[in-house]
Chains A and B, each alone.
Chain A
């Protein structure tokens, strides 16, 4: 049994792992190391209710600040881990301290992708990942101001919605044909674009930013398509990349994140990874996947902890997430990169539908707009990995739970 459990990354995955280690009776020291100075918190509210000032930061905390000391979890917050020495079994911090480990969890998460757009360092150009980022944006969110959102993935879409809800004028730019084009495809993306426009967002697709202009502060966004947009602030949301700098020369296998098996184990004994950073083998989909969402962080963090304690628990959750925008509840479950058939339950031109991404007659994934129950009920069908009756699937009068029971 390990004597020193160290977790790098005081993320939702990292914090959940620390809590689970204690809940499951870890005997030795548990140390949670995080670059941010705040206690671990959940990020979903940062682009939604917290950004709009509807909930206090306390509500986003994974546990109350005093919890960790009370439960024998040593915390080192506001300190970045800079290097892992897998052979000598220590983590080096940015204050040159070294923390020795017997078992290590890498839960460093992801960081925002940066682009070399001229003017990206002007005042008023933001990205959103941390609560401090959210606070900076929030301080600028006055009704009537003009915002440009660059990138209409999940974060961009949610931020655009929150800005509109706070009465700002919003222009959204994305290189694809629609919001969330790469994940959800054109048909669903077009519907989401319509809905954003119905909420007053001006959308510009198939165009990219050439430059942010202004003297000290951003005043214009210039696009490669030749547009020049006046603005007061810009939020860039063009995706994230796994935070793996500290693993350089560690010998830990990195390829689109930290490569782990279904037990969250890296190629080096006693070293694990979980959360956004973990490119994990998924036994249901029989391939490596990396998931950048809340459910993966919390559930994989817990599984990793149990495996650090000597169990052999496979992580096989069906990826699932929600994205609340305006008064819509958008949810996705499963994993897909392509699809042979798109099966629609309900009408795509309505405000409530489920779209299933089907290959070989099986549902690989589904996205629901205001279809929370259907998304929840389709998850066992995705997990079962077997063909379903597609006619029944698209028949709105059929309860998806009854499909599950059919052979």
Chain B
């Protein structure tokens, strides 16, 4: 099935500097709000699968998985600090009215 934008939660559910985890068609995705711009990526840290929405600390566009200290760029999913080696998958996000749509 081709990827398409799926309506998820309201933008108000992810405050600035905040995170939320959403199940989108069976995939658990984390959403970060960086100064009003939303980024979506796999919620599971690629190191030991901690939930980034629950255990992550967001500072600017960097999310730190506090379980073991891995850092990722929420814009690209790229690893900025180990122990994680593999990037997290990122998803496209768009705002439609007051809801977030994520492409899966």
A294 to B68, CA, bound (A): 11
Q: Which residues of B contact A329 (CB under 8 A)?
A: 67
Residue of B50, B67, B68, B83 with most chain A CB atoms under a 10 A cut-off? B68
A49 to B83, CA, bound (A): 14
Are A377 and B57 CB-contacts (below 8 A) given A294-B83, A298-B82? yes
Interface residues of B in 69-104 (CB under 8 A from A): 69, 82-83
Are A376 and B57 CB-contacts (below 8 A) given A42-B83, A294-B83, A298-B82? yes
Give the total number of A-B pairs whose CB atoms are below 8 A apart.
Answer: 25
A320 to B66, CA, bound (A): 12
Residue of A49, A372, A373, A377 with most chain B CB atoms under a 10 A cut-off? A372
Are A373 and B83 CB-contacts (below 8 A) given A295-B69, A322-B68? no
Q: Which residues of A contact B83 (CB under 8 A)?
A: 42, 44, 294
Contact B66 A376 (CB under 8 A): yes
Interface residues of A in 317-356 (CB under 8 A from B): 320, 322, 324, 329
Nearest B residue to A55, CB-CB: B48
Contact A372 B82 (CB under 8 A): no
How near does chain B come to A149, taking the closest CB pair, in angstroms? 23
| Number of residues from B at the complex interface, CB < 8 A | 11
Nearest A residue to B68, CB-CB: A322
A288 to B82, CA, bound (A): 26
A319 to B41, CA, bound (A): 30
Interface 0/1 of A286-301, CB less than 8 Å to B: 0000000011001000
Q: Which residues of A contact B68 (CB under 8 A)?
A: 322
Interface residues of A in 341-390 (CB under 8 A from B): 372-373, 375-377
A42 to B67, CA, bound (A): 17
How near does chain A come to B46, taking the closest CB pair, in angstroms? 11
Partner of A322, one of B57, B64, B67, B82: B67
12 examples of A-B residue contacts, CB within 8 angstroms? A44-B83, A322-B69, A324-B48, A329-B67, A373-B55, A373-B57, A373-B66, A375-B66, A376-B57, A376-B64, A376-B69, A377-B57
Residue numbers of B with Cβ under 8 A of A are 48, 50, 55, 57, 64, 66-69, 82-83
